[in-house]
Amino acid sequence: MRTDTGQVINLADYQPTEFVLERVDLTFELDPTATKVEARLIFHRREGSDPKAPLVLDGDELVLSGLLFDQTEMPAEQYTATPASLTVRDLPASEPFELTITTVINPEANTQLMGLYRTGGIYCTQCEAEGFRRITYFPDRPDVLAPYTVNIIADKAANPVLLSNGNFLGGAGYGEGKHFGAWFDPHPKPSYLFALVAGDLGVIEDTFTTMSGREVALKIYVEHGKEPRAAYAMDALKRSMKWDEEVFGREYDLEIFMIVAVSDFNMGAMENKGLNVFNDKYVLADPETATDSDYANIEAIIAHEYFHNWTGNRITCRDWFQLCLKEGLTVYRDHEFSADQRSRPVKRIAEVRHLKSEQFPEDAGPLAHPVRPTKYREINNFYTTTVYEKGSEVTRMIATLLGKDTFKKGMDLYFDRHDGQAVTIEDFVKCFEDASGRNLAQFSLWYHQAGTPLITASGSYDGAAKTFSLSLEQMIPATPGQSEKKPMHIPLNLQLFAEDGLTIAPASVDGAEYAGNILHLTKRTQTVVFQGIPSRPVVSINRSFSAPINLHFDQSPADLALLARHETDHFARWQALTDLALPNLLNAARDAREGKAVGSEATFVDTLVAAAADESLEPAFRAQALALPSEADIARELGGDNDPDAIHAGRQAVMKQVADAGQDTFLALYDAMTTPGAFSPDATSAGRRALRNAALTYLAYAENSPARAKAAFDAANNMTDLLHALTVLAHRFPDRPEAFEALSFFKDRFSENALVLDKWFSVQATIPGAGTLDRVKTLMENPLFKRTNPNRVRSLIGTFAFANPTGFGRVDGAGYRFLAHEILDIDQRNPQLAARILTSMRSWRSLEPVRQDHARAALLEIERVPDLSTDVRDIVERTLK
Ligand code: 0A1
Ligand code: ZN
């Protein structure tokens, strides 16, 4: 394990390499414990660079077993090799030279899952961000681009499939029982996009004809027997390829596009050129084993990785500080794809829910960092929701500010200008400035200032003057390393409504640029005056969530109810319903803490139940409306001194009140929202299932009995319904035999399916209450719990820590101590996984004092350990700061 070096990398220190890499030729002789890697690298010294400078290559736990210079052995005094670097001196001043580097690595022993490792009997690589240096010594940084040739030699019976990036050159037998395959990738790429896969795999095949008429072979490799479960992924891939041509004008650029699904993977998936490697969770699906949200995730992640071919691969990052250049943009692209494939407002609601529940807490806590950071200690810890999701929101704001056509012009310019390059955020933004003629300097603060802006708004209507004044103030909270913030350029989609629900168009607007519904907020405080307003308006601010901000705007329940009924933007309708719900949930948490009875406002309850029954609204929207803000959402809104038990009790009470008030509606929906006929994962059917299941949740509160959920469990013919019924039983009636029996039936039925077993672990990890910790510990003793499988570890330990506020956050601190213990154990094998799960502690300072003390003690227990990985050391120290 690479333990902490404590080195901080600064953006300001960026320098191009001294040497230019021209070509890479790799030969792998695969062996489970001793794979020989021969890397032939052709370099020349960069023009104008120091003619005496040595060549320094990166390594990580490497042992050099041979070094040739232009095919002859290199004298020992000319180089120094350590596990972490290879330094070569006295190299030619200008002419190209070839180094042949031989290393021997042990894939079987690679439990970090970075570099070349083994999973389910196959060889697989993961090189982003700095995994290639675990394979061979290399200038392992994203601004070193070269074409690669890859030769793979392996035992033929065990590894009939030999894959790498690019186009297949050919293969043949290679001595006794062995064979080889050769691949060439003509597109210069950085090492983080290298991939190799070898083993015995099943495959499904298809083709795609590109916009210029080229036929591309499409292959998805899975474990034998799982081929039928890859069909949906293939369909999503073809739709992604088509969409990228139609919407972004991007055509695929190799003869073949491959996806491999593996069961041990640290993240969701990886966009290696021409050879995407996926966590099998995001490839495999069938109605019996995958939920509607699994299908939606597969569609989104297949698209995301495919879209990286242009945004990430053809144009890549100059350095890792620019990670959002590829990630923020590609998330934006996959969001737009899903919005086009499904319901745009429902997709937007889901995105914003995710952003608020994951990114907002990150931005408000000790791990807050800018979308484009300026320093890091461990780059693996920067694959964050800030870089991804807030990065996507920043791209979305550029599109909002410029308008669709100009945004498209800017994107086209970006693809033209920077194809084949490794670039920066400044290069990206410049394309939009050039395409639009707009100065985006102030807007760029979104990349550089961390923290979620808070906008406080207040309005006043002058009936005599027929004007409506809106005062807006922006405040960007202090974040680690950034105490002072400048005002930002914030695009607010805004619309005025009359009391009858119709839109009002102002005659003119003073005090801010306002065009196409977008109000440009640029100053710390700004008063905007809308002229020619015939009656007191109801204002809808930040429609479609045009800016990722917190908004404080005191609106009466009656005004919110009007927006919930009449807003033409359905995202804003959902927002109004949420704004109606929130004060009730906050009060309920306060009342529960003080032992008072909880009561909900009639306007809120009635409006919510009416929305649920409103047949003019799509079912998926109604299901989103019924899913009240989560306990984590409530905690975030409360802001501090949080007591998870009180938040839970308060929310339960509100759920019960809504359930009682809407019982007839929920019964009617439960009966009506069936999906007869064969299962289809399409958005409309999924929406009906979501609404029916939301009704079931409320009915369990109203009826206070497991009977209906038990019947639903028995009748379910797809995983969405089955898992929902199981969750209702386990979470609402954990001590009843119905719950126990359903859990045991579920486990027996799916004991052979790892992805479904993950769900079984997660359902139990999220049972509310202090008793769940013991349940989690017992589950860890179950032979089905596999410590070496990241999905399994996340499904039990990760889910418990991230998604069970009352169980994990029990008042005696045992949950935090348990986590500390497990993090130290996981860190021994897989630092990335350990560090990621540890980020579940990011909001510890917003707990009430007793829990805070326990949380701090648990963090200190981790910090005290001397041989932590860099990954965990970095997270624990920043979390404690
Ligand atoms: N670039 C990938 C995410 C990714 C990052 C690091 C990894 O290392 C374990 C793996 C994948 C994406 O955005 O999909
Ligand atoms: Zn990505």
> According to the model, what pLDDT value does residue 563 have?
98
Q: Whose CA is nearest to atom 4 of ligand 1?
A: 270
**Contact 383 CB / ligand 1 (< 6 Å):** yes
Two tokens, residue 158: 């065990």
Q: What is the distance, to the nearest Å, from the Cα of residue 34 to the centroid of all Cα atoms in its chain?
A: 35
**pLDDT above 90 (res 49):** yes
Two tokens, residue 66: 């041979």
| CA separation for the pair 285, 73 (Å, rounded) | 52
Which tens digits make up the pLDDT trace of 140-197?
999 999 999 999 999 999 999 999 999 999 999 999 999 999 999 999 999 999 999 9
Two tokens, residue 559: 């005004």
280 CA → ligand 1 middle, Å: 14
Per-residue pLDDT averaged across 793-803, rounded?
99
| CA separation for the pair 345, 621 (Å, rounded) | 8
| CA separation for the pair 279, 302 (Å, rounded) | 11
**Contact 334 CB / ligand 1 (< 6 Å):** no
Residues 6+ apart with CB under 8 A from 599: 591, 657
Q: Which helix (H) or strand (E) holds 703?
A: helix 683-703
CB-CB contact of 660 with 702 (8 Å): yes
Per-residue pLDDT averaged across 479-502, rounded?
98
Two tokens, residue 815: 């949950």
Ligand nearest to the CA of 325: 2
**Contact 313 CB / ligand 1 (< 6 Å):** no
Amino acid identity, residue 178? K
Two tokens, residue 108: 């079987």
The 10 Å Cβ neighbour count of residue 542 is 24
Q: Hey, which residues does 9 pair with through a beta bridge?
A: 376
Q: For 341, how many CA atoms within 13 A lie in the half-sphere containing its CB?
A: 26
* % of the chain exceeding 90 in pLDDT: 99
| CA separation for the pair 50, 73 (Å, rounded) | 25
**pLDDT above 60 (res 803):** yes
> According to the model, what pLDDT value does residue 3 have?
58
**Contact 871 CB / ligand 1 (< 6 Å):** no
Minimum-distance ligand 1 atom for the alpha carbon of 269: 14
Two tokens, residue 779: 């589950």
pTM reported for the whole predicted model: 0.99
Q: Hey, which residues does 183 pair with through a beta bridge?
A: 150, 168
Q: Whose CA is nearest to atom 8 of ligand 1?
A: 128
**pLDDT above 60 (res 1):** no
Amino acid identity, residue 234? M
Q: Whose CA is nearest to atom 9 of ligand 1?
A: 266
Q: Is 410 exposed, middle or buried (0-12, 13-18, 19+ CB in 10 A)?
A: buried
The ipTM is 0.99
Q: For 291, how many CA atoms within 13 A lie in the half-sphere containing its CB?
A: 20
**Contact 327 CB / ligand 1 (< 6 Å):** yes
Q: Are strands 422-423 and 316-317 parallel, antiparallel or unpaired?
A: parallel
Q: Whose CA is nearest to atom 12 of ligand 1?
A: 270
Minimum-distance ligand 1 atom for the alpha carbon of 266: 9
127 CA → ligand 1 middle, Å: 9
72 CA → ligand 2 middle, Å: 41
Which residue in 130, 271, 305, 393 is the catalytic one? 305
Q: Which helix (H) or strand (E) holds 834?
A: helix 831-838
192 CA → ligand 1 middle, Å: 10
- pLDDT-derived band at 2 (thresholds 50, 70, 90) equals low
Q: Hey, which residues does 102 pair with through a beta bridge?
A: 38, 66
Per-residue pLDDT averaged across 77-85, rounded?
98
**Contact 269 CB / ligand 1 (< 6 Å):** yes
305 catalytic residue (yes or no): yes
**pLDDT above 70 (res 6):** no
**pLDDT above 80 (res 4):** no
Per-residue pLDDT averaged across 498-514, rounded?
98
504 CA → ligand 1 middle, Å: 46
**Contact 126 CB / ligand 1 (< 6 Å):** yes
> What is the best residue among 110, 116, 127, 128 to mutate for testing ligand 1's pocket, by most ligand atoms within 8 Å of CB?
128
> What is the best residue among 267, 302, 306, 327 to mutate for testing ligand 1's pocket, by most ligand atoms within 8 Å of CB?
267
SS3 category, 664: helix
Ligand nearest to the CA of 271: 1
| CA separation for the pair 7, 678 (Å, rounded) | 57
| CA separation for the pair 239, 298 (Å, rounded) | 12
444 CA → ligand 1 middle, Å: 25
**Contact 539 CB / ligand 1 (< 6 Å):** no
Q: Whose CA is nearest to atom 3 of ligand 1?
A: 270
Q: Whose CA is nearest to atom 7 of ligand 1?
A: 128
DSSP assignment of 531-543, as one string? E---S--EEEESG
**Contact 393 CB / ligand 1 (< 6 Å):** no
| CA separation for the pair 659, 728 (Å, rounded) | 14
Per-residue pLDDT averaged across 436-445, rounded?
98
265 CA → ligand 1 middle, Å: 10
357 CA → ligand 2 middle, Å: 20
Per-residue pLDDT averaged across 222-244, rounded?
98
Which tens digits make up the pLDDT trace of 647-685?
999 999 999 999 999 999 999 999 999 999 999 999 999
| CA separation for the pair 665, 699 (Å, rounded) | 10
Which tens digits make up the pLDDT trace of 97-137?
999 999 999 999 999 999 999 999 999 999 999 999 999 99
